[in-house]
Amino acid sequence: MSLSEKGSDSVVDGDVKREHLDSELNADPAFERRTIRRVDLYLLPMLVILYSISLTDRINISNAYIAGMAADLQLQIGSRYSIASLIFFVPFILLELPSNIVMRKIGAARWIGTITTLWGIVTLGMGFTKTWWELVICRVLLGALESGFLPACTYIISTWYVRKEIQKRMTAFYIVAVMMAGFSSAIAGGISEMAGIGGLGGWQWIFILMGLVTIVCGLGGFVFVQDFPDKNKFLTAEQTAFVLARIDEDRSDAEYDHWTMSKLWCYVTDFHLWLFALMLAAAFTTAYSFSLFLPIILVQGLGYSVLEAQLLNSPPSIFAAIFCFGLAWLSDKYTLRAPLLIFQGVMTIVGLCLTAFHTHNAVRYFGSFLGVAGSAGNIPAILGYMQNNITGYTKRSFASALTIGGAGIGGIIASTVFRAKDAPAYRPGLWVAIGAQFVIIFTTCIFTVVFYYKNKAVREGRAPPIDGRPGFYHMY
């Protein structure tokens, strides 16, 4: 039977069934390149746009703070700003796994389109808050709705590509979104100049206009977000069969495995997954430190005006996008994961030390370039590292949710260690961010040793196949 005949036979009501997938790999290179380019084009751009919107909506609180919200809502009193910042992450952590399970059942486009539209409405509503506790309530709702987005994106992307392709795609997804979100400070600076129009403050217009943009993009998600490989509608049957075959050859998990309580318990007790979550918590501690507090540090610590701070907040993100994608390309080309993580961790430590302790403002600002690039780059690097070392749809779903739950923990830490009383230098918070990078470096070293000996034991016949999947070995 030919390749196209198999592809046609394997489609029933839009769902592709695995049927002797190994033989599907005998495709010509031009067909392979054309298929993967099509996947890239249809899968990634909309997810990047929506994630940049997600990042913008969660961190615009810092832009609104310096644009008048702090005074209007009296956020300088006690720990009000820290509470409003960190409360987002409580529902964000708790609702991630249920979100991944629901998404698989109802479809990615419906789920992502729905939650994006709803959090856009909440963002718009934040522009009409009158008290600080109303802002807190909106942040809780925002966290609940955004909780399902990043785990969903990570989960979907990981199911489409073989492991040697994951790093640059995950980095492109994350870092381009970060770069786009980086412009949000400059955009917010321009929007804040609308203060007085309609009797509203500049900070209110930031939330209102960005909320409207989110709603429009969320509605677009119903049309342009793509589903899992076995449910996709944009590839031909022949292309779908090929995609599933190469995934199956790479990690033996092209076919969906259903949830059971025994699987759930096995995943909960897998220490590898908790270490991935720890690493991402550490990475996000530093990343959120920059996103939530860099505009404030630029104003209060380095003496720039509000508009200057909002404009200066964007260049580090642009540099991060270019630098980190270059490293991710090298990581996939040479299938090196741990060295990339360690290098970016060291780079972040250098940047944080310059920002925290140097006396010259230009050098401190240069430190933010290194810090933002290193911390932002390690986030997709950790997600790719995690996805490279697990197999199976349900385990991938659980691991994505658990690991990104670590992102929420990092957000809580960043929100609490940068205290108002430590302004303008915020030295204790910067020390915590530095310590977080040492956690990443140390944990990466542990994984490298563990993975090396597990692979060796399997190859020498002293241990069963990893996760019961012959031919699968850890990448490090």
Question: What is the tens place of the pLDDT at every residue in 30-48?
Answer: 898 999 999 999 999 999 9
DSSP 91-156: HHHHTHHHHHHHHHHH-HHHHHHHHHHHHHHHHHHHTT--SHHHHHHHHHHHHHHHTTHHHHHHHH
Q: How high is the pLDDT of residue 158?
A: 86
- Rounded CA-CA distance 463/268 in Å is 22
Instruction: Give the CA angle between residues 43, 371, 396 to the nearest 5°.
Output: 35
Question: What is the tens place of the pLDDT at every residue in 41-91?
Answer: 999 999 999 999 998 998 889 889 989 999 999 998 888 988 898 899 889
Q: How high is the pLDDT of residue 424?
A: 67
Does the pLDDT value for residue 29 go beyond 90?
A: no
Q: How high is the pLDDT of residue 195?
A: 92
- Write b or e for each residue in 353-378: b if 16 or more Cβ atoms lie within 10 A of its Cβ, otherwise e: bbbbeeeeeeebbbbbbbbbbbbbbb
Q: How many residues does the chain have?
A: 476
Pick from 308-312, 321-325, 326-330, 396-400: least confident: 308-312
Instruction: CATH number for 20-463: choose from 1.10.3720.10, 1.20.1250.20, 3.30.1490.190, 3.40.50.700.
Output: 1.20.1250.20
Q: pTM for the complete prediction? A: 0.77
Question: What is the tens place of the pLDDT at every residue in 185-208?
Answer: 778 888 999 999 999 999 999 999
What is the residue-averaged pLDDT of the chain?
85
Nearest residue to 44 (alpha-carbon basis) of 214, 183, 172: 172
The one-letter code for the residue type at 170 is: M
Indicate the DSSP class of residue 11: E
Does the pLDDT value for residue 442 go beyond 60?
A: yes
Helix axis angle, 315-333 to 338-357, nearest 10°: 160
For 252, list phi and psi in degrees, rounded to 5.
55, 40
Pick from 6-10, 70-74, 173-177, 182-186: least confident: 6-10
- Rounded CA-CA distance 414/302 in Å is 20
122, 363 contact by CB (below 8 A) = no
Q: How high is the pLDDT of residue 348?
A: 94
Nearest residue to 19 (alpha-carbon basis) of 36, 5, 32: 5
Q: How high is the pLDDT of residue 223?
A: 93
DSSP 154-206: HHHHHHHS-HHHHHHHHHHHHHHHHHHHHHHHHHHHHHHTTTTGGG--HHHHH
Parse the chain into domains and list their residue ranges.
20-463
430, 290 contact by CB (below 8 A) = no
- Rounded CA-CA distance 115/99 in Å is 10
